[in-house]
């Protein structure tokens, strides 16, 4: 069967962007008459479907999608972005990025900036500060697709793509218990983003399941960074009973925890350390860092697929279900507890 | 002296974006009459300079700046972006990002996408594939500021902000020589981006200065990544004379070099390894990685400062000089050569 001509083929044929084709078809004023004529001629020449032509004539799409993330520095978000791009490129969409830098004010500016840049839709992961979702409503009001991924909020009523974070917290904790650790602490964040609560609940549930007590002094609430990890580990080393394992809210925080423990002579895996996100460096530090893989490639691919479905519908929000991705444990040296026999030799 | 009212103050006063104020003043059709009147009233109330008002009425600026980088995953580029944002935010500018993913075709799409998104100017670092600069001319033709940073090209005739890359290559090589290494190899890239040639020339010059021969078999040309580093080190281990030190084109490549050497039992610093860029992980791997700090914060700040100067001028390109930043050596364990006495004990 012959592949149907898309707006993308017309763009290729003429060596212009999909946005130019779309704007030419929809009579956007900044497009010259000559370009418009060339586009319509190419559409005819390539047997572009008259129905599609009619709809493109109305749409005026830019084929630009906006993506808002807390920070592009995290490998986790960079991988999601990469996979969104991969998933969208055959349909002619390009993405532009905006970083909230974990600030609600920046996130609000990001939504406005991207809408002003005429994006066709927005995919966003919330900042740690986001306790209000009113700024996202303008996207919905413009009948453009909005998808929230990874960092979501209870109040938002649009399609989401998330990790099973309860399971991730449970999995990290149960792994440590199975390795023989018993006093397991958690260095995480105070912020109200749902995923962190879910992980903490998973941690508590796993402790209960294995008849271990939840010790509130073992839960350190701060931010997520190398420095926060150092600070959290420093606090925990002065807490009685001293923890024999620490779960860190992400791999950067885990890096800080390890550094602090090493300087205190409590070199992991003597005290076990596990993070979240499987950052690029995690396999290469010493000891190599156990972590929970949150499958950012899958998450990015799911974002792209959902966006393409939404943008193809009259009402983007019709019949779109949420997607939940299951985490995977990556055990490495930082949680390989020494055997009793080995400790005795020391 | 009282601070002069800026368009940013008007935006703050009304709780709208600078872009909305600018578009309202310039009579952009999408702005409602009510908003336009509120903006003009606020401008009058805050004593906004009538000259500025006149110029804003013409400009129709969006106060959005586009930034194109090869990849946001590299800490180096993420730090530059962060410092561009910091340097521009008080002037009301926000940035949107586009990744070329080291592809010329993507970079061309990036320029088009950002211009279609109505950015006021573009700051770009070239992809490894960029051997032609025609796509950048449209920005200049629109009389908008274009600044090329870090990855530049001989042919481009716009302001640049670069590292002294010759000095960086020289510095890495001389450090290894001073540590006692004599057969120094270089794993770098074939691509024609100027910075890599400059570093290679610095390397050759340092060898000559210290009466060491340049051995073409010790220069491995490929890409820059963990895998390219593994491949390069694998090649070099089979080359005679076997190198006793390896300079890697960036820290990711150095990570691959170290991994390969460790697996071959040639654990650094037995064979010395140095990278470029001082990535987040570089201090934390084992052995900790010596590297050249390229001062991305300084580079980002310089980009912001130059952009603000260009955008304030009738002709953005008038009297704008290039900026060159000096590198700094960060020596760590990966190049601390064992003393002869120590090696004899082994």
Tens of pLDDT along A43-52?
778 877 655 5
CB atoms B71 and A94 under 8 Å: no
- Most confident listed range (A80-94, A114-128, A166-180, A275-289): A166-180
Q: What's the domain count of chain B? A: 3
A220 touches chain B (CB under 8 A): no
Residue B27's pLDDT band (cuts 50, 70, 90): low
Q: Is residue A248 part of a domain?
A: yes
Q: Is residue B345 one of the residues assigned to a domain? A: no
Q: Is the pLDDT of residue A345 over 50?
A: no
The answer to whether B309 contacts chain A (CB < 8 Å) is no
Residues of A in contact with B66 (CB under 8 A): 96
Residues A158 and A316: beta-carbon distance below 8 Å = no
The whole-number pLDDT of residue B192 equals: 63
Q: Are A256 and A276 contained in the same domain?
A: yes
pLDDT band at B223 (very low <50, low <70, confident <90, very high): confident
In 3-state terms, what secondary structure has residue A100? coil
pLDDT higher than 70, residue B50: no
Region of poorest pLDDT, from A118-132, A236-250, B30-44, B137-151: B30-44
CA distance A250 to chain B (A): 14
Quick one: pLDDT band at residue A224, thresholds 50, 70, 90? Answer: confident
pLDDT band at B260; cut points 50, 70, 90: very high
Does any CB of chain A come closer than 8 Å to the CB of residue B280?
Answer: yes
pLDDT at B52: 59
CB distance from A270 to chain B under 8 Å?
no
Structural domain including A248 reads: 165-294+329-335
| Total residues belonging to chain A | 346
Residues B71 and B30 grouped into a single domain: no
- Chain A residues inside the 8 Å CB shell of B95: 98
pLDDT mean over B241-269 = 94
B255: nearest CA in chain A?
A284
Phi (first) and psi of residue A162, to 5 degrees: -135, 165
d(CA B282, CA B193): 24
The pLDDT value given to residue A40: 78
Does B284 sit within 8 Å of A285, measured CB to CB?
A: yes
Q: Do B284 and A280 touch (CB under 8 A)?
A: no
Looking at residue A2, what is its pLDDT? 52
Q: How confident is the model at residue B346 (pLDDT cuts 50, 70, 90)?
A: very low
**Closest residue in B to A284 (Cα–Cα):** B285
Q: Say whether both B189 and B287 belong to one domain.
A: yes
Query: Is B98 close to A101, i.e. CB distance below 8 A?
Result: no
Would residue A342 count as lying in a domain? no
Reported residue count of chain B is 346
pLDDT for res B54: 55
Q: Given an 8 Å threshold on Cβ–Cβ distance, is A118 in contact with B114?
A: no
Q: Is A76 on the interface with B (CB under 8 A)?
A: no
What is the C-alpha separation between B319 and B323, in angstroms, rounded?
Answer: 13
Closest CA–CA distance from residue B282 to any residue of chain A (Å) = 9
A135 close contact with B: CB closer than 8 A? no
B280–A281 C-beta distance less than 8 A: yes
Residues A78 and A113 in one domain: yes
In-domain check, residue B341: no
Question: Is there a domain that residue A204 lies in?
Answer: yes
B78 CA: distance to closest CA in chain A (Å) = 6
How far apart CA A67 and CA A81 sit, in angstroms, is 8
Q: Is residue B96 in a domain? A: yes
Residue of A nearest to B256 (CA): A284
Is pLDDT above 50 for A135? yes
B206 pLDDT band (50/70/90 cuts)?
Answer: very high
A62 or A167: which leads in pLDDT: A167
Residue A282 DSSP SS3: helix
Same domain, B151 and B300: yes
Asked if B259 and A286 come within 8 Å (Cβ–Cβ), the reply is no
- Crossing angle, helix B18-25 and helix B33-45, to 10 degrees? 100
Q: Is A116 on the interface with B (CB under 8 A)?
A: yes
- Residue of B3 and A196 predicted with greater confidence: A196
What is the pLDDT of chain B when averaged over all its residues? 88
A62 touches chain B (CB under 8 A): yes
- A279 and A185 both lie in a single domain: yes
Average pLDDT on B185-204 reads 88
A interface mutation test: which of B20, B62, B79, B116 has the most A CBs within 10 A?
Answer: B116
Q: Are B156 and B170 in the same domain?
A: no
Against a cut of 0.90, is the pTM above it?
no
pLDDT at A11: 83
Mean pLDDT of A179-198: 89
Q: Is residue A39 part of a domain?
A: yes
pLDDT at B298: 97
Are residues B117 and B36 located together in one domain of the fold? no
Highest-confidence segment of A331-340, B24-33, B326-335: B326-335
Q: Judge if A268 and A182 occupy the same domain.
A: yes
CATH of the domain at A13: 1.10.260.40
Nearest-CA distance B259 → chain A (Å): 8
Do A88 and A143 sit in the same domain of this protein?
yes
Q: Which residues of A touch B64 (CB under 8 A)?
A: 113, 116-117
Closest partner residue to B96 (CB to CB) among A117, A252, A255 is A117
Contact with chain B for residue A75, Cβ under 8 A: yes
Contact in structure between A248 and A273 (CB atoms under 8 Å): yes
Pairing of strands B290-293, B328-330: antiparallel
What the block records as the tokens of A35 is 């370009």
Residues B45 and B139 in one domain: no
Q: Is the peptide bond before B287 cis (omega within 30 degrees of 0)?
A: yes
**Are the C-beta atoms of B92 and B8 separated by less than 8 Å?**
yes
In chain A, DSSP finds a helix count (H) and a strand count (E) of 13, 12
Residue B341, pLDDT score: 42
The SS3 of residue A191 is: coil
Residue B73 with chain A: CB contacts under 8 Å: 72-73, 75, 78, 280
Residue A1, pLDDT above cutoff 80: no
Is residue A197, in this structure, part of any structural domain at all? yes
For residue A157, what is the domain's CATH number? 3.40.50.2300
pLDDT at A297 over 90: yes
More confident residue, A2 or B46: B46
B-chain residues near A66 (CB < 8 A): 96
CB distance from A162 to chain B under 8 Å?
no
B30, B96, B288, B332: best to mutate for the A interface, most A CBs within 10 A: B96
> Which residue does chain B place closest to A23, by CA atoms?
B116
3-state secondary structure labels for all residues of chain B: CCCCCCHHHHHHHHCCCHHHHHHHHCCCCCCCHHHHHHHHHHHHHCCCCHHHHHHHHHHCCCCEEEEEECCCCCHHHHHHHHHHHHHHHCCCCEEEEEECCCCHHHHHHHHHHHHHCCCCEEEECCCCCCCCCHHHHHHHHCCCCEEEECCCCCCCCCCEEEECHHHHHHHHHHHHHHCCCCCEEEEEECCCCHHHHHHHHHHHHHHHHCCCCCCHHHEEEECCCHHHHHHHHHHHHCCCCCCCEEEECCHHHHHHHHHHHHHCCCCCCCCEEEEECCCHHHHCECCCCEEEECCHHHHHHHHHHHHHHHHCCCCCCCCCCCEEECCEEECCHHHCCCCHHHHHHC
How many pairs of residues across A and B have Cβ atoms under 8 Å apart?
A: 111
Residue B253 backbone phi and psi in degrees, to 5: -60, -40
Test A64 with B281 for CB contact under 8 angstroms.
no
Residues of B in contact with A85 (CB under 8 A): 99, 101
A320, pLDDT greater than 90: yes
User: Which pLDDT belongs to residue B98?
Assistant: 95
Mean predicted lDDT score pLDDT of chain A:
88
User: A283 at the B interface (CB within 8 A)?
Assistant: no
Tell me the two tokens of residue B128. Answer: 């490894």
Residues B131 and B177 in one domain: no
Mean pLDDT of B118-140: 92
Interface membership of A255 toward B (CB under 8 Å): yes
Chain A CB contacts of B119 under 8 Å are: 117
């Amino acid at each position: 069967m012959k592949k149907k001509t898309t707006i993308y083929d017309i763009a290729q044929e003429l060596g212009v962007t999909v946005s130019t084709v779309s704007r030419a078809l929809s009579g956007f004023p900044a497009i010259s008459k000559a370009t418009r004529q060339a586009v319509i001629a190419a559409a005819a020449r390539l047997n572009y479907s008259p129905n599609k032509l009619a709809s493109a004539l109305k749409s005026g799409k830019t084929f630009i999608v906006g993506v808002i993330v807390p920070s592009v520095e995290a490998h986790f978000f960079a991988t999601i972005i990469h996979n969104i791009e991969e998933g969208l490129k055959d349909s002619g969409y390009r993405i532009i990025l905006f970083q909230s830098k974990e600030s609600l004010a920046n996130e609000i500016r990001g939504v406005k900036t991207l809408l002003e840049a005429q994006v066709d839709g927005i995919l966003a992961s919330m900042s740690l500060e986001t306790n209000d979702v009113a700024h996202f409503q303008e996207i919905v009001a413009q009948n453009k697709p909005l998808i929230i991924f990874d960092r979501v909020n209870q109040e938002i009523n649009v399609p989401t793509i998330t990790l099973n974070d309860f399971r991730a917290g449970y999995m990290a904790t149960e792994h440590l218990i199975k390795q023989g650790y018993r006093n397991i602490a958690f260095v995480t964040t105070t912020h109200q983003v749902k995923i962190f609560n879910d992980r903490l609940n998973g941690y508590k549930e796993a402790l209960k399941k294995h008849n271990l007590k939840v010790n509130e002094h073992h839960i350190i609430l701060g931010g997520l960074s190398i420095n926060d990890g150092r600070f959290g580990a420093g606090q925990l080393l002065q807490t009685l009973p001293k923890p024999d394992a620490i779960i860190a809210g992400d791999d950067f925080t885990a890096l800080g925890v390890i550094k602090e423990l090493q300087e205190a002579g409590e070199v992991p895996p003597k005290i076990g350390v596990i993070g979240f996100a499987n950052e690029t460096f995690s396999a290469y530090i010493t000891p190599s860092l156990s972590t929970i893989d949150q499958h950012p490639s899958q998450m990015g691919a799911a974002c792209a697929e959902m966006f393409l479905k939404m943008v193809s519908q009259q009402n983007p929000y019709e019949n779109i279900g949420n997607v939940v991705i299951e985490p995977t444990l990556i055990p490495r040296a930082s949680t390989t507890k020494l055997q009793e026999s080995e400790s005795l030799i020391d």
